[in-house]
Amino acid sequence: MTIHRLARHLELIGEPTLVRCVRCIVRGRVQGVAFRAAALAMAQGLHVTGWVRNRRDGAVEALACGEESALRTFRAWLHKGPAYAIVSDVSCAPQPWEDFSEFRIRR
């Protein structure tokens, strides 16, 4: 079930939910430390869709879409990252909704 269908289901049974997308740039020692793989696992566990990729400037970028509480948890995780990451900055901005079917690593 995609996030969009889940949100519609929750709306139909009377559970209020907000679904949205957010694009985040994570800076620090975030490449070469399995950041993307860990972000993929975290997103899948939270039922967040979208993608994550390395940027040429050494940062990691993620576009995450899902239920607001799941996105809060995902964003909080981005501030820590996996064990060997050293996150110095995370900047996030809301984005228009995109109905992805899964979360994946972009190359």
Q: How many domains does the chain have?
A: 1
pLDDT tens string 42-76: 999 999 999 999 999 999 999 999 999 999 999 99
State how far the Cα of 106 lies from the Cα of 54, in Å rounded to an integer: 8
What integer pLDDT is reported at residue 3 of this predicted model?
A: 53
The residue range of the domain holding 39 is 3-105
What integer pLDDT is reported at residue 4 of this predicted model?
A: 55
Average pLDDT over residues 14-36: 88
State how far the Cα of 53 lies from the Cα of 36, in Å rounded to an integer: 7
Q: Write the CATH number for 67.
A: 3.30.70.100
What integer pLDDT is reported at residue 18 of this predicted model?
A: 72
Catalytic residue ranges: 36, 54
Q: What is the mean pLDDT of the chain?
A: 90
